Amino acid sequence: MFFRAYNPNASLSDFVENFWAYSFNSVRLRERIFPSGTFELVFNLHDNQIRIYEGVQSNAFQRYSGAVISGPHAGPIVTDTTLESSVMGVHFKPGGAFPFLGVDADELRGRHTDLEVIWGRAAISLRERLCETASVQRRFRLLEQFLKTRLRFQRHSAVVLSLPTFGRTRLQMTRELAHDARLSEKRFIEVFRREVGVNPRLLTRICRFQGILARTAQSGTLNWAEIALDHGYFDQSHLIRDFLAFSGFSPAEYLRRVKHLRNCGMHAKFNHLPLAE
């Protein structure tokens, strides 16, 4: 499997976490992707289609074009990777996609949308140019230059000020964030959801879950009770409930599957879990 990531230059670094590309030849029927509280652009450079299953246990799927924007989700999604031997995309930071979209972020929450619906013919042309470009680095630069032309909308100052506080261990108190932004709590939530796509409490829970995933990737021996306290959960059962909600697995089952993949020599991107059969 080939995987490469590219960090954006300074003009996009406030909005984009990274650009990524991967290709593989091994048989992988499905891949579970966990919520990150962010938007993702995905381009299938091999086939002009992307398949997303309707549920983690469902065999039914929706077919999209080869250029898709995925809004923030509150649970795991499952993609069909059999046709995705060459894929690349953009992983936005929370709230980072809004200035490029031209639509409210919460309109795309929990949805996958053909990019043509958002950007028209420009989305089709972009995918065609990416397919015609042989070098991965040139593809990254092409995508980066395109995004610069789509940077047309400014974010509300309340969103810009509040986003750096997320990812900490304690749940962010909406009333505190609203007070700091000099907005009513109701107005703050409206603005936040419009530009980020999820409410502040859900984003904090997702960021905390992401912290747990990062910790599991760094250590082979884990004390779940200690981890729960370190990350601001009430107790271990609270951690398990959130882990199940966001991944569809218990922490123990998740680790068992990751260990099995490693023993088989399979590589998984962070926040993804291949479900090889």
Taking residues 179-208, report their average pLDDT: 94
Residue 174 vs residue 6, higher pLDDT: 6
Query: What's the CA angle centered on 247, arms 264 and 4, to 5 degrees?
Result: 55
* Tokens found for residue 143: 């995508």
Taking residues 158-169, report their average pLDDT: 82
d(CA 84, CA 49): 9
pLDDT of residue 275: 79
Whether residue 33 has pLDDT greater than 80: yes
Kindly report the average pLDDT of the chain as a whole number: 89
Which pLDDT band holds residue 100 (cuts at 50, 70, 90)? very high
Whether residue 172 has pLDDT greater than 70: no
Which pLDDT band holds residue 20 (cuts at 50, 70, 90)? very high
Q: What is the pLDDT of residues 101-143, one digit of tens each?
A: 989 999 999 999 999 999 999 999 999 999 999 899 999 999 9
Which pLDDT band holds residue 214 (cuts at 50, 70, 90)? confident
Q: Report CA torsion sign: 187, 105, 38, 35.
A: positive
Chain length of the chain: 277
- Portion of the chain with pLDDT greater than 90, in percent: 62
Count Cα neighbours of 150 within 13 Å in the Cβ-side half-sphere: 24
* Tokens found for residue 251: 């922490």
Taking residues 31-40, report their average pLDDT: 94
pLDDT of residue 168: 58
- DSSP secondary structure letter of residue 188: H
Whether residue 170 has pLDDT greater than 70: no
pLDDT of residue 25: 67
Which pLDDT band holds residue 150 (cuts at 50, 70, 90)? very high
Which pLDDT band holds residue 23 (cuts at 50, 70, 90)? confident
Taking residues 224-253, report their average pLDDT: 91
- DSSP secondary structure letter of residue 256: H
